[in-house]
Amino acid sequence: MPTEAQSAWRTIRVAPQPTGFGAEITGVDLSRPLATDALAEVKAAWAQHSVVVFPGQPLTLDQLEAFTLQMGAFGDDPYVKPMEGHPNVLEVRREPDEKVTPFGGNWHSDWSFQARPPAATILRSETIPPVGGDTLYCDAASAYEALPQATKDKLAPLRAVHSASRAYGPQSAYSRELHLRAMPIIVSPEADKTYVHPLVRTHPVTGRKALFVSPVYTVGIEGMAPNDADPLLAELHRHLVQDQFIYRHHWTPGMVVIWDNRCTMHNALGGYDGHRRVMHRTTVAGEAPV
């Protein structure tokens, strides 16, 4: 990666992707509390690039939790049982003999079905397979900005309906696969609840607008019949995942990645059948989308 002009950063080094979506941050040690200036720069780089990568950060679970709290309060993770002794850490695990789709293996923004979806997800790699296992990230802000003005005007008043029903409800895909997965996923009727958010949301830090819809959790548009809503959502999903809006991330052991759920989607790829993959995940509480 090219290095961003260091005049912009006093305490960290930032190497952005060519599009500016996604960046690598070095020059910090996340195992210890960040100094005020360094933490402010990390947050600024995250706001600017949406997905930031910290290589060579083999944190313990306690250190991962401590770093998460520097970014903000813990979010609520409702449908996966947390790790023993670490109520805010989820272990994203797939064993070599599993044949089902990887956890998170469809485009989504984490927990968008909540009244206050998480601002950030933090993922730390523990065991990385020798093949596959990349994560795709989608720049939902640039995707919105690329839309014709007439389309932006059409979308402006719309509110999307979000639900966890397709993933975690009693009739969901996960409900039929619990015995096939190593992860302790929780299926609940609570997942059938719906929450309504602006289809286009404004980032509270940058002020940029972004499409806030995903194939997994967006189940409709308020006040619109399914025959009209479904084709519109499908059109937006196709637009979002065009190559020019995608950053493909390749993991290495001991890596920490933070992404902004307010302006991105992500998709965990497979391709590593026969190998174990273990990640540790926390979320940072967010605000009601506006």
Could you tell me the two tokens for 18? 């060519």
Instruction: Answer whether residue 219 is part of any domain.
Output: yes
Residue 26 near residue 55 (C-beta atoms within 8 A): yes
State pTM to two decimals: 0.95
Residue 139 near residue 279 (C-beta atoms within 8 A): no
Sort residue 43 into left (φ over 0), alpha (ψ -120 to 50) or beta: alpha
Instruction: Answer whether residue 194 is part of any domain.
Output: yes
State phi, psi for 132 to the nearest 5 degrees. 65, -165
Instruction: Answer whether residue 289 is part of any domain.
Output: no
Number of domains in the chain: 1
Instruction: Answer whether residue 215 is part of any domain.
Output: yes
CATH assignment at residue 151: 3.60.130.10
% of the chain with per-residue pLDDT over 90: 95
Instruction: Answer whether residue 247 is part of any domain.
Output: yes
| Domain range enclosing 34 | 6-284
Instruction: Answer whether residue 290 is part of any domain.
Output: no
Q: What is the pLDDT of residue 7?
A: 59
Could you tell me the two tokens for 282? 């926390």
Instruction: Answer whether residue 131 is part of any domain.
Output: yes
Q: What is the pLDDT of residue 24?
A: 98
Q: What is the pLDDT of residue 2?
A: 41
Helix (H) or strand (E) holding 135: strand 135-139
Q: What is the pLDDT of residue 1?
A: 41
Tell me the CA distances in angstroms from 89 to 122, 127, 215, one per residue in order.
10, 16, 25
Could you tell me the two tokens for 117? 């979806």
State phi, psi for 24 to the nearest 5 degrees. -100, 135
CA dihedral 8, 12, 13, 17 (to 10 degrees): -80
What's the mean per-residue pLDDT of the chain? 96
* Model confidence pLDDT, tens digit, residues 187-206: 999 999 999 999 999 999 99
- Sequence letter at residue 173: A
**Residues lower than pLDDT 50 in the chain:** 1-5
Instruction: Answer whether residue 101 is part of any domain.
Output: yes
Residue 49 near residue 137 (C-beta atoms within 8 A): no
